[in-house]
Amino acid sequence: MQKRRLGNSDLDITVLGVGAWAMGGGDWKFSWGPQNDSDSVAAIHAALDAGINWIDTAPVYGLGHAEEVVGRAVKDLSLKPLLFTKCARVWNERREIGRSLKRDSIIRECEASLRRLQADVIDLYQIHWPEPDEDIEEGWEACARLKEQGKVRWIGTSNFSVSQLERAWKLAPVTSLQPPYNLLVRGIEQEQLPWCQAHGVGVLAYSPMRSGLLTGKMTKERIAAMPADDHRQRVPDFQEPRLSRNLEFVELLRGIGAKHGCSAGEVAIAWTIRNPSITATIVGMRNAAQAKGVLGAATLSLTNEDIAAIEGFDFRY
């Protein structure tokens, strides 16, 4: 699979990476409903077998569970993938999620992630959310310190605005930004992408299929029947009046995909990585079949006609 250099790092990463959010399983605030761990491990193995060379996870995904599953999946592999995780979302014994960019908290978080991932080093350590805003400098300095100590190899950001990126940049080089980017969420095109390109900062686009909405497999019936702990039901794009328009748009993607022997979801993913400011995209997958079902995106070349059809869609509702 095609690889690209991530920002100022020495990491050559495949254009698709494995996203482990849903692998965190059920029963927490931002869960995707129940998830079978064996399916998660099979998804990771299928992705790696197909040449994908990195996994993105976070401590908060399943309150430690996704990192444990990733650790278990890669433990005995002779060729290990690059491991990217995050900090700054913490939780208490009542499983309530909080935010912290305090130095001591980040150091504790890093140790816990290394233990759960069963790793000696984290390849990319990212501040998950720039919150609380006033502690960004303290958090970023803590990340830079962990890099100096060799606990993490490179440090990056996620969900940062340009002014927040600039504050971090003054203290230590930023390897990457991890923002949302897909056909329905394009806010970073105005400011973050030009800034990252100008500063040589890598971009890992998350939710390329709008968290499953653009796969071609999502229906109104499925959403209505989602388990109570699937947080996507609360997301406006999964609700009316946007939902009908979004599913109509998926039909356009399905038609484009059919011409290339690909699914609507693969068209959506391919669209994100054709943008030269995007280094790679993080694709969520819950089983081996889903992992295999997104691979076509890595080689799909959308035509000018495809792009014109996409840009011509009337997104009003």
Active site members: 61
**Is residue 208 a contact residue for ligand NAP (CB under 6 A)?**
yes
Question: How many degrees, rounded to 5, is the angle at CA 190 between CA 180 and CA 18?
Answer: 20
Q: Which one, 21 or 154, has the nearer CB to ligand NAP? A: 21
Which of 124, 282, 288, 298 touches ligand NAP by CB under 6 A? 282
CA distance 183 to 89: 27
**Is residue 283 a contact residue for ligand NAP (CB under 6 A)?**
yes
**Is residue 24 a contact residue for ligand NAP (CB under 6 A)?**
no
Q: Do the beta carbons of residue 89 and residue 120 sit within 8 Å?
A: no
Instruction: Centre a 10 Å sphere on the Cβ of residue 156 and count the other Cβ atoms it contains.
Output: 26
**Is residue 286 a contact residue for ligand NAP (CB under 6 A)?**
yes
**Is residue 254 a contact residue for ligand NAP (CB under 6 A)?**
no
> Which one, of 180, 206, 172, 205, lies nearest residue 8 by Cα?
172
Q: Do the beta carbons of residue 122 and residue 152 sit within 8 Å?
A: yes
Q: Which one, 294 or 316, has the nearer CB to ligand NAP? A: 294
**Is residue 238 a contact residue for ligand NAP (CB under 6 A)?**
no
Which of the stretches 191-199, 242-250, 270-278, 287-295 binds ligand NAP when contact is defined by CB under 6 A? 287-295
For 228, phi and psi rounded to 5 degrees?
-60, -30
- DSSP labels for 87-135? ESEEE-TT--EEE---HHHHHHHHHHHHHHHT-S-EEEEEESS--SGGG
Residue owning tokens 């991530």: 6
Which of 294, 298, 300, 302 touches ligand NAP by CB under 6 A? 294
Residue owning tokens 């089983």: 287
Minimum distance between the CB of residue 217 and ligand NAP, rounded to whole angstroms? 4
Minimum distance between the CB of residue 77 and ligand NAP, rounded to whole angstroms? 19
Q: Is residue 241 reached through a cis peptide bond, with omega within 30 degrees of 0 on the bond before it?
A: yes
Which of the stretches 113-121, 162-170, 186-194, 204-212 binds ligand NAP when contact is defined by CB under 6 A? 204-212
**Is residue 253 a contact residue for ligand NAP (CB under 6 A)?**
no
Count of residues engaged in binding ligand NAP, rule: CB under 6 A: 28
C-alpha distances (whole Å) from 31 to each of 48, 94, 193, 232, 234 are 24, 16, 29, 9, 11
For the window 27-46, what string marks contact with ligand NAP as x by the rule CB under 6 A? -----x--------------
Which of 14, 85, 113, 158 touches ligand NAP by CB under 6 A? 158
Q: Which one, 65 or 286, has the nearer CB to ligand NAP? A: 286
Q: Is residue 132 reached through a cis peptide bond, with omega within 30 degrees of 0 on the bond before it?
A: yes
Q: Do the beta carbons of residue 244 and residue 219 sit within 8 Å?
A: no
**Is residue 279 a contact residue for ligand NAP (CB under 6 A)?**
no
**Is residue 212 a contact residue for ligand NAP (CB under 6 A)?**
yes
Residue owning tokens 């109570």: 228
**Is residue 209 a contact residue for ligand NAP (CB under 6 A)?**
yes
Binding footprint of ligand NAP on the chain (CB under 6 A): 19-22, 32, 56, 128, 158-159, 178, 206-212, 215, 217, 265, 282-286, 290, 293-294
